[in-house]
Amino acid sequence: MDIEFEPTNRRRFLKTLAMVGVAGQTLLRSGDVRAAVGAARDLAVPGVANWPEMPERQLGNTGFAASRLVFGCGAALSRGPKDDLLQASFEAGVNVYDVGFRSYYKDAEQNLAPFARRVRDKIFLISKAYVPTDIEPNQSITPGQARYGADAWLEALDGSLRELGVDHLDAYYAMASFNPSLIQSDELLGAAQRAKDAGKISHLGLSTHQNAEKVLEAAIETGAYSLAQIAVTPAGWYDWDNKAILPGSPPMAKLRPLFDRAREAGIGLIGMKAGRYLAGRKFLGWGKPTAFDSHYDPSFMAAEFSSFQRSYAFVLEHGLDCVNADSQSMNHLAENFAAAATSSRYFG
């Protein structure tokens, strides 16, 4: 859907959708912008002029006041530019943009580049790449393996800087880093320090869909990480291999002590895949919209949210600083923005 808005009109539109879930649902059902705006206006909610903007949270020890919604650029931009979504999100208050290297995300960095350069001093820019190693999640890495992986990771960093057309990233992640011994290795930590000394990055981060609890524990021990992007849902850890909730995982509410310790160690926590399980998979049967409902109290269930919005709002209010959401259309952006902007309303 192509939408041509003047900046002020786009901002007003997104702000309205963000605060009134009904309007967002109208847009999702009809694809009609005018109908969505009309639905918002028809509600005649008092005090509309005073509704808050996107809330912010300091992101670990970075000192950056981050929007609670992170724009996940990888899948959204891998096949083509989407400047209308990027600009709309920015004008609405999103200021963290996460992308990744070409070998996995194809043209995403290249397609983000014009927007990122235009607003470079106003956003927190993140990219990431694999640290290639042939080891299992809980296997001990050798110095040689770690050195090879760290060198390749630094080479990918140079590629990302070229693709984005910038000379510096606010954060660079060890992507899909499911091995605790890698996270703690002198080789990886030394490579990150060299990148910092060269002015290429400001902060080291990690992302993982697997073994996240042990990886986060390892990162806390090092004191070297500023960010951790973890796959977690209201029901507990998300397991990338099985595309399901990790068997035996405690629900997210019981993981709060770990999250609090990470934050005390200066690590900003960003959630991903918070609602992925709800979408299902073709070979497993599409859609599990009620999968997390048992973790919600009645007042939250009454919120004018879709099941995806509810999962995003829940993880934000149970220990995470931000949530990374894939916004591939204006519909998605409106829905994701609404959840992140209003999550605090439903929890004391």
Tens of pLDDT, residues 118-172: 999 999 999 999 999 999 999 999 999 999 999 999 999 999 999 999 999 999 9
For the segment 217-252, what is each residue's pLDDT rounded down to a tens digit?
999 999 999 999 999 999 999 999 888 999 999 999
Q: What is the mean pLDDT of residues 49-74?
A: 87
For the segment 187-206, what is each residue's pLDDT rounded down to a tens digit?
999 999 999 999 999 999 99
Note the pLDDT of residue 279: 86
> What's the first-to-final CA gap in the chain, in angstroms?
37
- Dist. CA 348–CA 343, nearest whole Å: 11
Q: What is the mean pLDDT of residues 322-346?
A: 91
Q: What is the pTM of this model?
A: 0.86
Note the pLDDT of residue 330: 84
Q: How far is CA 287 from CA 130, 166, 237, 313, in A?
A: 30, 40, 19, 19
Note the pLDDT of residue 245: 95
Is-contact 236 212, C-beta < 8 A? no
- What CATH number is given for 54-346 in this structure? 3.20.20.100
For the segment 153-168, what is each residue's pLDDT rounded down to a tens digit?
999 999 999 999 999 9
For the segment 282-306, what is each residue's pLDDT rounded down to a tens digit?
655 667 899 999 999 999 999 999 9
∠ CA 59-243-74, nearest 5°, is 45
Task: Supply the angle between the helices 83-92 and 7-19 in degrees, to the nearest 10.
Answer: 70
pLDDT of 50 above 90: no
High-pLDDT (> 70) share of the chain, %: 83
Q: Extract the tokens encoding 46.
A: 């008092």
High-pLDDT (> 90) share of the chain, %: 76
Confidence band for 80, pLDDT divided at 50, 70 and 90: very high
Question: Where do the CATH 3.20.20.100 domains begin and end in the chain?
Answer: 54-346
Q: What is the mean pLDDT of residues 60-86?
A: 96
Note the pLDDT of residue 62: 98
Closest residue by Cα to residue 174 from 139, 132, 229, 130: 130
- Dist. CA 163–CA 112, nearest whole Å: 9
Q: What is the mean pLDDT of residues 102-131?
A: 98
- Dist. CA 34–CA 24, nearest whole Å: 12
The secondary structure of residue 200, as a DSSP letter, is S
Is-contact 21 13, C-beta < 8 A? no
Closest residue by Cα to residue 172 from 195, 148, 146, 141: 195
For the segment 5-30, what is each residue's pLDDT rounded down to a tens digit?
334 434 444 444 444 444 444 444 43
